[in-house]
């Protein structure tokens, strides 16, 4: 994509604002490895994770989504009245029928003529929402209004499973609009791929995901190759996809090492053969490309863990927060994968002035404030999660976990979920 090509299209649409809000507690991966009798190098180097955010009983898909949405609106000075569509992409739905957006719509004070709904497709849900919002705006139906897209998830595989070191919890909010301030999407060459595979799924009766881990990695890479080909097939200029013409390559990041595997696959599509990392030339080429285009934007993912549909966009927040002005006006690639599976590959441009928001977007100070849990506390939280959604069951107490802020999940009363500040916990007496 070139600036000229974008000028020729009628409407410039893309990501105008972003905000991240994650769970307020975390565990250290060395502690987890030690508790599980695993060499810590497996989690730190082999998987690529340093820490993992853990959602306490008071933090759920809705509370994290509302906090991320509020951050995006406030940091980019967007009035709630400007929002005409609210979509939450999530694998961690809180109701079989009622969308999480109904609560978030109220918590953020969005207008009553704002449509709202939830999208589900494992880690692809928010990407489906993002492209739908871009289409809504491009079609003219938005009438000048903006869309608020929020990716919000809690990744749960369970204790002592292979997936345990690839959990996490958090939400990324994005405002999609005309004349965006951060990333302009090239909606003319989005490539898609779908295939029915059992690589990762979560049946209605389970709080924990089932995964065929190694197979899921194969499915992810297969989907990357196919969706890239599809995007190239509709592009007028194949040079746009060349790694040397890109400022950054973003991938879905279930764990940091996966982005490395993805970038290897991306390079292999260009050279049309397997990379041999024992060969000095191949190794140098890979190390330079990965080191420039992907690795620098994975430091926040390494601290937060897998936030499913938001993890790709968390990497994009990391990119802006690093304030590299020389990368403005350059093109980037974006690959989104959702198990099951569905995937899209697309290009976008870093808007001039995007780095003005580096500080506003940087979540590092908030990550520093997270409370470190012992493995015993983390295991207690996992046990509490079993009963958290029972009617008139647990009434989780934000003070017990030293949580800050004023949007918490307070339990279920008369079959309806309660959200609000700690002071509203009054009528829910049970301790949790």
Q: Is 172 in the site for ligand CAA (CB under 6 A)?
A: no
- From residue 328 to residue 367, the character string flagging contacts with ligand CAA as x (rule: CB under 6 A) and all else as - is ---------x-x----------------------------
- From residue 279 to residue 318, the character string flagging contacts with ligand CAA as x (rule: CB under 6 A) and all else as - is ---------------------------x-x----------
Q: Is 277 in the site for ligand CAA (CB under 6 A)?
A: no
Q: Is 166 in the site for ligand CAA (CB under 6 A)?
A: yes
CB of 15 to ligand CAA, least distance (A): 21
Total chain residues near ligand CAA (CB under 6 A)? 29
Q: Is 49 in the site for ligand CAA (CB under 6 A)?
A: no
Q: Is 274 in the site for ligand CAA (CB under 6 A)?
A: no
233 vs 287, beta carbon nearer ligand CAA: 287
Interacting residue with ligand CAA among 42, 98, 364, 430 (CB under 6 A): 42
Place of tokens 């869309």: 147
Catalytic residue check, 58: no
Interacting residue with ligand CAA among 11, 41, 277, 390 (CB under 6 A): 41
Taking only Cα atoms into account, the Rg of the chain, rounded to an integer number of angstroms, comes to 21
Catalytic residue check, 270: no
Q: Which residue of the chain is nearest ligand CAA when measured via CB? A: 46
The rounded distance, in Å, linking the Cα atoms of 328 and 354 is: 7
Considering the candidates 123, 189, 219, 265, report the single residue annotated as catalytic: 123
Interacting residue with ligand CAA among 3, 39, 144, 374 (CB under 6 A): 39
How many alpha carbons fall within 13 Å on the CB side of residue 261?
20
Question: Of how many residues is the chain composed?
Answer: 432
The rounded distance, in Å, linking the Cα atoms of 396 and 59 is: 9
235 vs 306, beta carbon nearer ligand CAA: 306
Where does 245-302 show beta strands of DSSP type E?
246-251
**Contact at 8 Å (CB) between 350 and 332?**
yes
Nearest Cα to 372, choosing from 328, 392, 347, 402?
A: 402
The rounded distance, in Å, linking the Cα atoms of 242 and 251 is: 16
Distance separating the N- and C-terminal Cα atoms of the chain: 53
Considering the candidates 114, 184, 219, 252, report the single residue annotated as catalytic: 252
Considering the candidates 59, 91, 184, 222, report the single residue annotated as catalytic: 91
Query: Cα–Cα–Cα angle for 150, 152, 154, nearest 5°?
Result: 175
Catalytic residue check, 91: yes
Q: Is 214 in the site for ligand CAA (CB under 6 A)?
A: yes
Place of tokens 């020729």: 8
Nearest Cα to 334, choosing from 237, 216, 217, 252?
A: 252
**Contact at 8 Å (CB) between 41 and 336?**
no
Helix-helix angle 61-75:100-107, to 10 degrees: 40
33 vs 407, beta carbon nearer ligand CAA: 33
The rounded distance, in Å, linking the Cα atoms of 170 and 309 is: 10
Q: Residues 249 to 268: which contact ligand CAA by CB under 6 A? A: 252, 254-255, 257-258
Q: Residues 123 to 152: which contact ligand CAA by CB under 6 A? A: 123
User: Which active-site residues does the annotation give?
Assistant: 91, 123, 252
Tell me which residues touch ligand CAA (CB under 6 A). Answer: 39, 41-42, 45-47, 122-123, 162-163, 165-166, 199-200, 211, 213-214, 216-217, 220, 252, 254-255, 257-258, 306, 308, 337, 339
């Amino acid at each position: 994509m070139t600036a000229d090509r974008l000028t020729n299209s009628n409407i410039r649409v893309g990501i105008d604002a972003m905000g991240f809000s994650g769970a307020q507690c975390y565990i250290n991966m060395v502690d987890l490895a030690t508790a599980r009798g695993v060499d810590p190098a497996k989690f730190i180097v082999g998987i690529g994770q340093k820490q993992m955010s853990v959602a306490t009983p008071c933090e759920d898909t809705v509370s994290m989504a509302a906090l991320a949405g509020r951050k995006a609106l406030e940091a980019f000075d967007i009035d709630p009245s400007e929002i005409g569509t609210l979509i939450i992409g999530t694998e961690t739905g809180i109701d079989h029928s009622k969308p999480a957006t109904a609560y978030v719509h109220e918590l953020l004070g969005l207008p009553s003529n704002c449509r709202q709904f939830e999208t589900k497709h494992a880690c692809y849900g928010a990407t489906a929402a993002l492209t739908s919002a871009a289409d809504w705006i491009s079609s003219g139906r938005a009438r000048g209004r903006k869309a608020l897209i929020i990716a919000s998830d809690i990744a749960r595989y369970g204790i002592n499973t292979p997936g345990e070191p690839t959990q996490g919890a958090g939400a990324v909010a994005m405002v999609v609009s005309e004349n965006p301030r951060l990333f302009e999407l090239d909606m003319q060459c989005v490539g898609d791929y779908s295939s029915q595979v059992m690589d990762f799924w979560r049946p209605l009766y389970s709080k924990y995901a089932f995964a065929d881990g190694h197979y899921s990695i194969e499915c992810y890479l297969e989907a990357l190759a196919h969706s890239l080909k599809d995007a190239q097939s509709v592009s007028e200029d194949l040079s746009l996809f060349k790694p040397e013409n890109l400022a950054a390559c973003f991938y879905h990041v279930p764990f940091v090492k996966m982005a490395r595997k993805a970038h290897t696959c991306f390079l292999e599509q260009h050279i049309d053969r397997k990379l041999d990392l024992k060969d000095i030339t191949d190794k140098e080429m890979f190390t330079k490309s990965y080191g420039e285009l992907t690795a620098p934007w994975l430091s926040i993912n390494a601290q937060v863990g897998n936030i499913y549909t938001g993890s790709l966009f968390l990497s994009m927040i990391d990119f802006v927060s690093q304030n590299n002005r020389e990368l403005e006006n350059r093109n980037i690639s974006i690959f989104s994968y959702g198990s099951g599976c569905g995937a899209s590959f697309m290009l976008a441009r870093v808007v001039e002035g995007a780095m003005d928001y580096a500080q506003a977007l940087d979540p590092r100070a908030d990550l520093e404030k997270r409370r470190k849990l012992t493995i015993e506390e983390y295991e207690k939280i996992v046990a509490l999660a079993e009963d958290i959604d029972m009617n008139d069951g647990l009434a989780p107490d934000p003070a017990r976990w030293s949580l800050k802020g004023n949007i918490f999940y307070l339990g279920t009363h008369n079959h309806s979920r309660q959200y609000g500040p700690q002071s509203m916990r009054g009528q829910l007496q049970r301790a949790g």
